[in-house]
Amino acid sequence: MSKIIVRGGRRLSGTVRIHGAKNAVLPILAASVLASEGESVIADVPLLDDVLTIREVIASLGADVQQGPETMIIRANRLTANEPPSELVRKMRASILVMGPLLARTGQVRISLPGGCAIGMRAIDQHLKGFEAMGAEITLGQGFIESKVNGRLKGAKIYLDVASVGATENIMMAASLAEGTTTIENAAKEPEIVDLANYLNAMGAHVRGAGTDVIRIEGVERLQGVRHTVIPDRVEAGTYMIATAITGGDVFIEGVIADHLAPVISKLQEMGVSIVATDNGVRVTADKPLKSVDVKTLPYPGFPTDMQSQMMSLLLVSDGTSVVTETIFENRFMHVEEFAKMNAQIKVDGRAAIITGGAPLSGAKVCATDLRAGAALICAALVADGESEITGTHHIDRGYVNIAGKLAALGAQIERVDSAVAPAPAAAVAPVASQEPAVVTVVEAVPFKREKEVAMMNVQPTWA
Ligand SMILES: CC(=O)N[C@H]1[C@@H](OP(=O)(O)OP(=O)(O)OC[C@H]2O[C@@H](n3ccc(=O)[nH]c3=O)[C@H](O)[C@@H]2O)O[C@H](CO)[C@@H](O)[C@@H]1O
Ligand SMILES: C=C(OP(=O)(O)O)C(=O)O
């Protein structure tokens, strides 16, 4: 079992470079299978576990995928399958994003229900509603979905009941190869949607309005591979902002687009953190006591749910009482119980958590119950008295490249201890031919542990 060990009390300083965004690269790699000509060269690819999983998913469909340092090259000219292996699909939520591209490209798809962090029910009804409106027939089986369409998908007007990021992306990708015009109303507006639209448009698609709540897609007959650089990861950047603020540090966060983090930056400034944006990043300095603030998660441009738990860690060390309201996912307070082991004073009432700041945190053995919970526990451990041990690192590896190494470079006392794993199978993906030594990443040979997460996904929302 791997764990991250942190000794609290060190102030962070220096510069940290932000990787490409997980939530942008996953739909972009899924969209790469839409290209029936040429090759896609995707740059600034963070080599995270989720990215390696989607790489295997698209390779399983017959695409040729080569991987270099922070680059993936995909040739999807000939797809040979439309049923990605369920053991890959069930590893993460984002694997459902190949459904739209496959349906549009091959007219048929069979896919398992996706997995991912147990932060809520995470329905996919809006994805399916969109495909149905475009003429696809959908059959739900025991744990899988089958869908087919006679000929091409047809453009349609689709109103999303919730501004779902994944549904917007899936429908946008499918509509790019559909016959006629598709309109998505109440579309999600996240920067990752805009990045996907830019990639699709470079491939030859006609997507207009991405970043607003109405997106229009005029379908085209074919798309071709192109070069695209992924936007920086706003959640990774936000996490380092919190880590800096919680330690009273002074760190330059390089590569982040400050506009993408406007709500997080506003809240940190309200708390008394100094944030100065420059052309290529933001400087975060925290040199005075922090004030408590209330935070409510909302779709973009509201405060991101993916920053809620990290923000909560900062509120633990602020003066006064704060209320954090989670409106996106009904089970995203699992970190509260873990924070409590560190002496945090938090009460949960439905979808609100009431935090009494200022109680000194003490080091403890805690478990990352999901990806961002893991990051939040690391942040809290950076200021806790004594040593903390954070297990559940497989969650953290889904979204952060070398978080322990990056924090250690900023002065934190942190190390990762990896237990020996069984020899991994040979890489299913060829290394890219380049001057640089190619990185051949092998598929992780760690047992697949999802029983607990699946069970938790079936719980009823507490605030439905
Ligand atoms: C890979 C990726 O990009 N993941 C992000 C994406 O997840 P994801 O795309 O899964 O999130 P959605 O925006 O779809 O989900 C938001 C809410 O809508 C609900 N819903 C969604 C789809 C649907 O068909 N029906 C439905 O009811 C979900 O249960 C959830 O309560 O956006 C989330 C919200 O910003 C982020 O936390 C995730 O990090
Ligand atoms: C919830 C997240 O990701 P996913 O949708 O991939 O589970 C996240 O990035 O915090």
Give residue-wise pLDDT tens across range 168-177. Answer: 999 999 999 9
Write down the pTM of the prediction.
0.91
Was 328 annotated as part of a binding site?
yes
SS3 at position 456: helix
Rounded distance between C-alpha atoms, residue 183 and residue 196, angstroms? 16
**Which residue's CA is the closest to the ligand 2 atom numbered 10?**
306
Same fold, 3-19+232-417 and 22-229: yes
- The interface predicted TM-score of the complex, written ipTM, equals 0.99
How many CB atoms neighbour CB 123 within 10 A?
12
| Residue matched to tokens 């973009």 | 300
Any idea which fold 3-19+232-417 has?
UDP-n-acetylglucosamine1-carboxyvinyl-transferase; Chain (3.65.10)
pLDDT in tens, 201-227: 999 999 999 999 999 999 999 999 999
CA distance 295 to 314: 12
Q: Is 23 in the pocket of ligand 1 (CB under 6 A)?
A: yes
Q: Is the CB of 338 under 6 A from ligand 2?
A: no
- Contact 72 CB / ligand 2 (< 6 Å): no
Residue type, 63: A
State yes or no: 78 annotated in a binding site. no
Paired tokens of 27: 């739909």
**For the segment 2-38, what is each residue's pLDDT rounded down to a tens digit?**
999 999 999 999 999 999 999 999 999 999 999 999 9
What residue ranges do the domains of the chain occupy? 3-19+232-417, 22-229
Report the 10 Å Cβ neighbour count for 21: 26
Q: Is 343 annotated as a binding residue?
A: no
State which residues of the chain have pLDDT below 50: 423-464
Q: Residue 365 — φ and ψ, nearest 5°?
A: -90, 115
CATH architecture under which domain 22-229 falls: Alpha-beta prism (3.65)
Testing ligand 1's pocket by substitution, the residue of 127, 162, 260, 458 carrying the most ligand atoms inside 8 A of its CB is 162
Instruction: Kindly state the tokens that stand for 404.
Output: 């322990």
Ligand 1 contact, 126 CB (< 6 A) = yes
Residue matched to tokens 């506009």 = 259
- Kindly state if the Cβ of 355 falls inside 6 Å of ligand 2: no
Q: How far is the CA of 115 from the centre of ligand 2 (A)?
A: 11
Q: By the 8 A CB rule, do 36 and 450 touch?
A: no
Give me ligand 1 centre to Cα 187, in Å. Answer: 12
Cα angle 234, 72, 445; round to 5: 90
Q: What is the distance of C-alpha 57 from the center of its chain?
A: 17
Residues identified as active-site: 117
Q: Cβ(347)–Cβ(353) under 8 Å? A: yes
Side chain identity at 437, as an amino acid letter? P
For ligand 2, the distance from its centroid to the CA atom of residue 154, given in whole angstroms, is: 30
For 53, 54, 181, 182, 410, the CA distances from 156, given in Å and listed in that order, are: 31, 28, 7, 5, 50
